[in-house]
Amino acid sequence: MRKQHIFLLTLALVVFSGCFEMVEEVTFTDKQKGTYLLTLNCSQSRDKLNGLLKLDTFMGMHLPKTYEVSGELSRAADVLRRTPGIHKVEYHSDFRQYLFTISFAFDSTEALNRGLNAAIRSASAKQGLHSTLIFNAHAQGFERLNTPGDTLIKQSVAGKDLSGLLKNATYTSVYRFKRSIASVSNSKARISKNGNAVMLRHAIPDLLKDFTLFTNHIQFK
Amino acid sequence: MKTLPALILFLFATTGFAQNAANCIPANSSYVFALNLAQLKAKSAEMDYSKYLESLMPGNNSYGYEGFSNALCNYLDPAALMKHPDSFGIDIKSYLYVYKTSVKDVSGTVYLLNLSDADRFESRLNTICNGMDINYQKKSLAGGTFYLGPKTSVAINGKLAIVFVKSYSYFQDFAYETEADAGYDSAYTAEKQADNLRIDSLFYEQLNNGGETDYDAAVTRHQLKSDTSIAFRAKQRADAAKLEAVNEKYRNILALMESMLQAQQNNMLQNRNFAALNNGAHDAFIFMNTMAFMSNEYLNPFGSLYRFGVDEENRTASGKKPRLTAGISSSYSIDFENGKARIEFLNTYNEHVYPYFKKAYGIKQDKQLLKYIDGENLLGYMSMAVSSKELAKFYEDFYIEMLEGMPKRKRDMNMLPAMQLAYAFLDKEMLYNTLDGRAILACTGFTDVRMKFSSYSYDDEFNKQEVTEERLVRQPRMVMAAAIGNRENAKKLFDIIGQFDVFVKVKENVIGYYGGRDVPFNLFICLTDDALIMSNDINVVVNPASYTKLPKEDLKQIMSHNIAMKIYSDRMMAGVRDAYFKGVDTMPWFAEIMNRLGNIEMTDTRPSKDSYGAVATVSLKDGSANALYQLLKMMQSADGY
């Protein structure tokens, strides 16, 4: 039962840690293929996490043990390895610095969507999440559309004022392409000097209120 | 005068069963845990305390070899028993005792219960498990009714019941679990060989049917085949051996349980320390029979010497009589009063120990240390004044006696002199008197500490690079001031430690360790003329001894006790809230604890000729409600139930 809640458990742990950075990087190596890297960096909060991980529950929520977090990463990696079009899956967990990464190569944007949806579903089996279109690629551009599990995250933090706890938590996305970018729809997004990458950073409390803040339509030249 | 016999009869009638139950506890039990369920029930009001006792319930413990038997059915539902003991016909006004016993090859935990209604208790035993009848053994004998099981057994005799939860270990259950399951015995091998030699045997028939090309391989292969009746007979023998092993196990358990239902000739009540606890009407207590614990080969701390002794190599008994270790025991008792929980610890010993303790505890806290503690911002402290040098003498003699007293194999004989030789070379003055055993550890508010952490920077092309950044982290300001016994040695050690490259020289007499990315704290050490000071706040050590005095009450406690501890919960919780949960509006669990919890204090008592102890109190702000109820309320809110 606890395993089936691991998505929420990990979320709880991250939320209580207060200060953390999530970085999502999608780097296209050609028009279709590329690599995906997700980094969760809680090293700012490691003194808090050291204490929290010794507890079973905190503020009424069960907290995962380190082996559960590692196990879940390993399970997500297994699911990704079994997803067609996904290769070179690697994950890393550092419980001294509280740094966690998972990375893989994908053959197409469809494979990337399939892999991410499968990984999220495996980590939240009981919640029965539906697949969602996270990214969309077409000849003229690239789109970041939805966040998997956004409704579930919203539900789990509903009624809880986490703005104080999470004021220093950020989510950054970086998308790198082999083509030059003409424009981006999200006014907060920045285009790199060489015109081939887009970065978007938001404070987590803002994202928890509105996941569409990450929506971005990128047009190529 | 006529009322006197009636009074005696009344006293006997009201206390008789409790006395009888404790009479059944063998004097050599390694520990006894006692719960007064009626008091706990009354004091907890509508709150459920039983879930916090789950780990103590029959059958709930699972360690190593015990694990496999957890799948077995039990006669009792332990959680239900603890939750509603009176519905099981248990006399909750008497203590429920739990103790550990080990006789020959059977060891386990015993739950000793007084019954108010034996029929009801018997009717609540499970007879069906997983949809099937529990088909273990039931025996009705003159000494009582016994329900025997591989894991949990129950015995009832009049108003007394015991639940015995057998411990499983490789060494004790070797015969039952391993040999009996082996399947093929030597008779099977002999019969098979004889069968192979018969001219019309299956072996010869198959070997000589003309189809074999590799004769040697064929011999090996066909030798394994034999008349099925041989295997059948072997199986029958194995089954019979297994049944006999199981029966023997049940016979041993039955014998043990029969003896446990009787008043023991050497029972625990003869121990004056246990008897005093038992008569103390505590809500709960635990009595640790240290001497028995150490003399039990399966439980003593040096048990590995015995466990590895299954090779049956002869061991030589020392023949030495225990001197310091004789009769030592310790106990904890807890009583929940209105607005206060009181925990008492008592360590009991014999007259040979007292001279050591008298010297070790015959010192007072060093007044000079007090000036290093910030009285104005004090959140909590732990003060200790015990002569390390004198206490070391006791532990040296104590451990030598323990090691001397244990039976040894030939190869263990040199262990003690080797240890003594190594110890003789140690510089005792350096080891025990550099810091002389007087120290105060205190938390004096919160401080901002610069901490390093990993973050990322991005170049113009948004390539990510890991960088190390710093931020201020709020941490409790911890200070430890320790009195110096030998300053020359202290200076020598301080100078040596300061040479390690992890330390930075802050001042002539201050060294500092700055936590890196992997170690989230700073540590500063200062050597003054009269103390060694350690703190995570540089200001404490750079400019020590300029603080407001400690509150008078704390000064008194520190100077009049060898051990004194206090936590100002209100201030501590407020500090934690401000440091870690600033900006968080809704934390009902935290508010619940802050609203209820008062100060936590502990002080020791001076060592007397036969005991040394300490008393801790947890105060609750509401003096009209029982402490157990309030503590359970706090735990409930923290658990989020």
Q: And the tokens for B219?
A: 């011999």
**Pairwise pLDDT comparison (B282 vs A139), residue with the higher score:** B282
Q: Report the residue of chain A nearest B465, measured CA to CA.
A: A23
Our CA-based measurement puts residue A41 at a distance from the nearest CA of chain B, in whole angstroms, of: 7
Which chain B residues touch A197 with a CB distance below 8 Å? 461-462
CB pairs under 8 A between A and B: 76
Q: What is the pLDDT of residue A5?
A: 46
Give yes or no for residue B282 having a pLDDT over 80: yes
Closest CA to B111 of B71, B67, B74: B74
Average confidence score pLDDT of chain B: 81
Q: Which of B11-20, B535-544, B584-593 has the lowest mean pLDDT?
A: B11-20
Give yes or no for residue A62 having a pLDDT over 80: no
For residue B435, what are the CA distances in angstroms to A21, B361, B545? 45, 16, 19
Q: Which of B67-71, B398-402, B455-459, B585-589 has the lowest mean pLDDT?
A: B67-71
What value of ipTM does the predicted structure carry?
0.81
* Cβ pair A164:B584 closer than 8 A: yes
Residue for token pair 């049944």:
B243
* Cβ pair B461:A60 closer than 8 A: no
The DSSP letter of residue B581 is -
* Cβ pair B520:A47 closer than 8 A: yes
Q: What one-letter code names the amino acid at A79?
A: V
Q: What is the pLDDT of residue A199?
A: 95
* Cβ pair B455:A160 closer than 8 A: no
Which among A23, A161, A194 has CB closest to B456? A23
* Cβ pair B455:A44 closer than 8 A: yes
* Cβ pair A59:B640 closer than 8 A: yes
Which chain B residues touch A36 with a CB distance below 8 Å? none
Residue A55 banded pLDDT, cuts 50, 70, 90: low
Measured between alpha carbons, how far is B566 from B600 in angstroms, rounded to an integer?
A: 6
- Work out the widest C-alpha separation in chain B, in whole angstroms: 107
Which among A50, A61, A167 has CB closest to B583? A167
Residue A38 banded pLDDT, cuts 50, 70, 90: very high
Percentage above 70 pLDDT, chain A = 76
Measured between alpha carbons, how far is A111 from A101 in angstroms, rounded to an integer?
A: 19
Region B503-519: what's the mean pLDDT?
84
Q: What is the pLDDT of residue B1?
A: 42
* Cβ pair A97:B455 closer than 8 A: no
Interface of B with A (CB under 8 A): 451, 453-456, 458, 460-462, 464, 471, 473, 475, 517-518, 520-521, 580-587, 589, 638-641
Q: Which of A51-55, B208-212, B509-513 has the lowest mean pLDDT?
A: A51-55
Residue A113 banded pLDDT, cuts 50, 70, 90: very high
Count of Cβ atoms closer than 10 Å to residue A70 Cβ: 15
Count of Cβ atoms closer than 10 Å to residue B132 Cβ: 8
Our CA-based measurement puts residue B521 at a distance from the nearest CA of chain A, in whole angstroms, of: 9
Q: Report the residue of chain A nearest B454, measured CA to CA.
A: A43
**Pairwise pLDDT comparison (B210 vs B457), residue with the higher score:** B457
Residue A3 banded pLDDT, cuts 50, 70, 90: very low
Give yes or no for residue B19 having a pLDDT over 50: no
Region B478-490: what's the mean pLDDT?
95
Q: Which of A118-122, A187-191, B369-373, B435-439 has the lowest mean pLDDT?
A: A118-122
Average confidence score pLDDT of chain A: 81
Which among A97, A165, A199 has CB closest to B462? A199
Region A163-192: what's the mean pLDDT?
86
* Cβ pair A44:B585 closer than 8 A: no
Query: Chain centroid to CA B588: how far?
Result: 33
Q: What one-letter code names the amino acid at A114?
A: R
Which chain B residues touch A160 with a CB distance below 8 Å? 586
Beta bridge partners of A40: A22, A100
Our CA-based measurement puts residue A94 at a distance from the nearest CA of chain B, in whole angstroms, of: 10
Which among B473, B584, B639 has CB closest to A161? B584
For residue B482, what are the CA distances in angstroms to B358, B490, B535, B601? 21, 11, 12, 21
Q: What is the pLDDT of residue B430?
A: 95
**Pairwise pLDDT comparison (A152 vs B460), residue with the higher score:** B460
Which chain A residues touch B457 with a CB distance below 8 Å? none
Our CA-based measurement puts residue A57 at a distance from the nearest CA of chain B, in whole angstroms, of: 6
Closest CA to B165 of B237, B231, B100: B100
- Name the 3-class secondary structure at B121: helix
Q: What is the pLDDT of residue B416?
A: 85
* Cβ pair B517:A164 closer than 8 A: no
Our CA-based measurement puts residue A179 at a distance from the nearest CA of chain B, in whole angstroms, of: 13
Q: What is the pLDDT of residue B516?
A: 67
Measured between alpha carbons, how far is B13 from B273 in angstroms, rounded to an integer?
A: 24
For the ranges A184-198, B15-29, B80-94, B461-475, the maximum mean pLDDT occurs at A184-198
Which of B54, B457, B458, B462 should one mutate to test binding to chain A, selecting the residue with the greatest count of A CBs within 10 A?
B462
* Cβ pair A199:B458 closer than 8 A: yes
* Cβ pair B640:A165 closer than 8 A: no
Q: And the tokens for B70?
A: 């957890």
Measured between alpha carbons, how far is A203 from A191 in angstroms, rounded to an integer?
A: 19
Residue B315 banded pLDDT, cuts 50, 70, 90: low
Q: What is the pLDDT of residue B141?
A: 79
Region A175-193: what's the mean pLDDT?
92
Q: Report the residue of chain A nearest B577, measured CA to CA.
A: A165
Count of Cβ atoms closer than 10 Å to residue B494 Cβ: 19
Asked if A164 contacts B583 with a C-beta cutoff of 8 angstroms, the reply is: yes
Our CA-based measurement puts residue B576 at a distance from the nearest CA of chain A, in whole angstroms, of: 12
For the ranges A214-218, B129-133, B318-322, B352-356, the maximum mean pLDDT occurs at B352-356
Give yes or no for residue B566 having a pLDDT over 90: yes
Give yes or no for residue B136 having a pLDDT over 80: no
Percentage above 70 pLDDT, chain B = 81
Which chain A residues touch B458 with a CB distance below 8 Å? 174, 199
Measured between alpha carbons, how far is B377 from B539 in angstroms, rounded to an integer?
A: 14
Q: Which of A2-16, B125-139, B280-294, B423-437 has the lowest mean pLDDT?
A: A2-16
Which residues, 6+ apart, have CB-to-CB distance to B492 below 8 Å? none
For residue B124, what are the CA distances in angstroms to A218, B117, B140, B166? 71, 11, 17, 21
Cα angle A171-A176-A177, degrees, rounded to a multiple of 5: 150
